Amino acid sequence: MSVGAGPATAPATARRVIDARGSWCPGPLMELIAAIREEDVGTEIELLSSDEGSRKDVPLWLEKAGQRLLAMTSEGGFDRYVIQKVR
């Protein structure tokens, strides 16, 4: 599964990676929110989550928060979300 535009791999700039695999909803989302609070506008964040609830909650929160989902891919047993802080 893949949504959004932009590269899921080979980023042009350094990315902050949050490995939230093994954490349950809403753990991955809360880790993402903490990272959005801390990082500068323009920063890319890569979130790894094995929690199925994240598939709904993460895109929903990003839309509400006005942040950009660059890519979402399913990999063996987990999902990879690439996000850019835009505001």
Catalytic residues: 25
What DSSP string describes 56-82?
HHHHHHHHHHT-EEEEEEEETTEEEEE
- Measured from the CB atom, the residue of 10 and 26 that comes closer to another protein is 26
Any contact of residue 79 with another protein (CB under 8 A)? no
Q: Are 15 and 45 in contact (CB under 8 A)?
A: yes
Any contact of residue 24 with another protein (CB under 8 A)? yes
Any contact of residue 64 with another protein (CB under 8 A)? yes
Which one of 44, 57, 69, 84 is in contact with another protein (CB under 8 A)?
A: 57
